[in-house]
Chains A and B, each alone.
Chain A
Amino acid sequence: MNNSRDRTSADGGGDGVPTVAGRVRLRTEPGAQVRTVHETVAPDTVRQSVFDINDMGVQYGSKTALAHTTMKIYRHLVTAIIGPSGCGKSTFLRSLNRMNDSIDSFRLLGQVLYNGHDLYAPGVNRVEVRRRIGMVFQKPNPFPKSIYDNVAWAPRNIGLTADLDARVERALRSAALWDEVKDRLRTSAMALSGGQQQRLCIARAIAVEPDVLLLDEPASALDPVSTAAIEDLIGTLKNRYTIVIVTHNMQQAARVADRAAFFSLDRTDLVGTLIEYGDIKTIFGNPRDQRTRDYVTGQFG
């Protein structure tokens, strides 16, 4: 009944993350199933939701890339977006900071609320959005500038020039890169290794102190050692930021994430769909949906 195991909402479940009572629509079949969850909540442990995603979908021209998705993303948690390739994970992520706007045919359906504000409302300033919601890309993309200038570039734009040296150092330390580059800050960033460049990109992103960090498969192009370094990083960063990470690596998700959203391609119309969303232990240990179970167990071999 009210056994935590039996909770079926896409919005709660698992230990330690009490939910707010609410109606939730979990779309597992063309006909939507509506399940209601009631729960007693200890008020001081309520998690704030940073993103309220309501019935959101993405279309590129006439093609639907992402089907209607509803979920909440919580503050100071690492939320992993997992699923097979091509199921719209990156599209989903990029819709959270309006990076899809550069694609002409992009159209958002539904609503994405960020801290209660509609992200796609007419008066919203994209630059302000990206200032608060930062992104690190799959392939490291440092600027052809010095290491220092890479990190200092955005703060200079924004006007955060007080104690710039200290800011750069803090960012590089937070990205676990400081010790390796502190003696060559003025040298070109292009001379760094792939793993270092990616950490530089992370340092760059956090130098402006965003509210949220979106990571799009940040370690997929890197070697195992760099990958491990970045995963450690995520663990320390989440105390400060809300992190959403797209990854196709199940083990990685299991290692770093608190919650996971499993997307897959709907077999009939090839549209990315949210299958299941919940606590990481639930998704991996006791997934409710068969498809989740198949994916998770298949990955673990």
Chain B
Amino acid sequence: MSDGTLMGTDELPYDPTSPLTPTGNLRRRMIFSRAVSVAASMAAYIAIAVLIVVVWGVASRGAHALRLNFLIHNPEGLAEGGIANALIGTALMVLFGALIAVPIGVLTGIYLSEFASKKSRVANGLKLALDLLQGLPTIVVGLFIFGLIVIPQHKESGFAGAIALAIVMLPLIARSSQEVLLTVPGALREGADALGVNRWRTVLGVILPSAMSGIATGVILSTARAAGETAPLLFCDGIFNPNATELNLFGHGVPNIPLLILTASDLAIPEAFARAWGAAFVLLLGILLANIATRIVLNRSLKKRGGA
């Protein structure tokens, strides 16, 4: 039954028996679509090119750092020696900061995933606070610690730097812990509760262990990032003896890698550049390796968990 309201007549606007190659305006549309694809891929390759250029720029100038001498000797003068004390200083500060940020961060993650009901104003307020904290310019964090610790103590110190780094690490660890904890299946919690096990035992004994690798990943990434942070240290641990051999977090400033690089770029003494490139290469290498390693671990655990 075909009344006049049906689509057209029996004639289609094209020949359906013609070969299945573009008819009408399709050819033009295909060309345009392909052009867009090409443009988008070029954007990706530009980004990768930039990455390669920068990494190669650092690696080619700093690869000399991969000598034991460079890594275990202290700097001498303006341009000689190695970066040992800066490496240790950074390591000490990051470790100390992590000692503070990890428990607080993980506990915050536990609060958000285990104790707070999802819709509560407290939970939302906390998430907002963490978002804002994470977005804070790190130089503002540095100024905060400057006012809080450096001024009262009348000195910059590794301790102040470590606290500043802890603040930078905290929201990252809190968020990643919360996300990992949320992926632990609810069935685990319900099962434990059905057996009459107390909440804290469940969290510590069942949920936390199963989330451990995810949390560890978050911690590693956060500490790797903190190791490269400069702005928090500028005013908290910016004054130090670059050739110092004794390192005390609670004494005066501690040498560290980021500021070693920064002062080199400030001073504009070409001889000092080589040492700074070396430090930059070591730092970059460490961070990239941490990123790659955690990615591999994450992929493996994802495959174990669920597969496709």
Q: Which residues of A contact B1 (CB under 8 A)?
A: 236, 239
Instruction: Say whether A206 contacts B25, CB under 8 Å.
Output: no
Contacting B at CB under 8 A, from A78-132, are 114-117, 119, 121, 123-125, 127-129, 131-132
Residues of chain A within 8 A (CB-CB) of B25 are: 158-159
**Given the interface contacts A114-B20, A124-B20, A125-B21, does A240 sit within 8 Å of B13 by beta carbon?**
no
A171 within 8 A of B: yes
A132 to B13, CA, bound (A): 11
Flag if A128 contacts B23 (CB, 8 Å).
yes
A209 within 8 A of B: yes
Q: Are B20 and A236 in contact (CB under 8 A)?
A: no
Name the interface residues of B16-61: CB closer than 8 Å to any CB of A. Answer: 16-17, 19-26, 29-30
Please give the distance in Å from B21's CB to the nearest CB on chain A: 6
Interface pair B6/A209, CB less than 8 Å apart: no
A127's partner among B8, B12, B30 (CB-CB below 8 A) is: B30
A131 to B22, CA, bound (A): 10
Q: How far is the CB of A48 from chain B (nearest CB, A)?
A: 9
Q: Is A174 an interface residue (CB 8 A)?
A: yes
Query: Are B10 and A240 within 8 A (Cβ)?
Result: yes
Query: Does B17 lie within 8 Å of A240, measured CB to CB?
Result: no
Query: Which of A117, A157, A173 makes the CB contact (< 8 A) with B20?
Result: A117
Does B120 sit at the interface, judged by CB under 8 A?
Answer: no
CA distance A239 to B1 in the complex (A): 7
Cβ–Cβ contact B26 & A125, under 8 A: yes
Q: Which 4 A-B pairs have the closest CB atoms?
A: A211-B16, A124-B20, A115-B17, A159-B25
Can you give 7 A-B contacts (C-beta < 8 A)? A117-B20, A125-B21, A125-B26, A129-B20, A132-B16, A239-B1, A239-B2
Chain A nearest CB from B1 CB (Å) reads 6
B16 to chain A: closest residue by CB = A211
How far is B6's CA from A174's CA once the two chains are assembled, in angstroms?
5
Give complex CA distance A157, B2 in Å: 27
A127 in contact with B22 (CB, 8 Å): yes
B16 touches A239 (CB 8 A): no
- Please, which residues of chain A bring their CB within 8 A of the CB of B10? 240
The answer, among B7, B17, B21, for a CB contact under 8 Å with A209, is B7
Q: Would you call A25 an interface residue if the criterion is a C-beta within 8 Å of the partner chain's C-beta atoms? A: no
Q: Which residue of chain A lies nearest to B14 when distances are taken between CB atoms in the complex?
A: A132
Q: Is A160 an interface residue (CB 8 A)?
A: yes
Chain A residues whose C-beta falls within 8 Å of the C-beta of B29 in the assembled complex: 127, 157
- Known contacts A117-B20, A160-B13, A239-B2; decide if A131 and B8 are in contact (CB<8 Å): no
Q: Are A124 and B17 in contact (CB-based, < 8 A)?
A: no
Q: Is the C-beta of B5 less than 8 angstroms from some C-beta in chain A? A: yes
Best-surrounded residue of A129, A158, A207 (most CB of chain B within 10 A): A158
Instruction: Write the chain A residue with the least CB distance to B17.
Output: A115
**Most chain A CB neighbours (cut-off 10 Å) among B10, B19, B23:** B19
Given A159-B25, A240-B7, are A125 and B30 also a contact pair (CB < 8 Å)?
A: yes
Let me know if A170 and B7 touch, CB within 8 A: yes
Which chain A residue lies CB-closest to B20? A124
The winner among B6, B12, B20, B24 for most chain A CB atoms within 10 A is B20
Whether B26 and A131, one on each chain, are in contact in the complex, defined by CB atoms closer than 8 angstroms, is yes
B window 250-272: CB within 8 A of A: none
Closest to A173 in B: B5
Q: In whole Å, how far is A138's beta carbon from the nearest beta carbon of chain B?
A: 23
Contact B21–A211 (Cβ < 8 Å): no
Residues of B within 8 A of A127 (CB): 22, 26, 29-30
- CB proximity of B257 to chain A, nearest CB, Å: 44
- In the assembly, what is the distance between CA of A174 and CA of B24, in Å? 24
- Find out whether the CB atom of B7 lies under 8 angstroms from the CB atom of A171: yes
Q: Output the least CB separation between B307 and chain A (Å).
A: 13
Q: B residues within 8 A CB of A123? A: 20-21
Give the complex CA separation of A128 and B8 in angstroms: 20
Instruction: Identify which of residues 119-151 in chain A touch chain B, using a CB-to-CB cut-off of 8 Å.
Output: 119, 121, 123-125, 127-129, 131-132
A239–B6 CB distance below 8 A: yes
Contact residues, B48-101 vs A (CB, 8 A): none
- A236 and B6 alpha carbons, distance in the complex (Å): 9
A117-B19 in contact (CB<8A):
yes
Which residues in B have their C-beta under 8 angstroms from that of A206?
Answer: 7
Contact residues in B for A237 (Cβ distance below 8 Å):
6
Of A125, A157, A173, most B-chain CB atoms within 10 Å: A125
How near does chain A come to B26, taking the closest CB pair, in angstroms?
A: 6
How many Å lie between the Cα of A157 and that of B30 in the bound state?
11
Closest residue of chain A to B19 (Cβ to Cβ) is A117
Contact A240 B5 (CB under 8 A): no
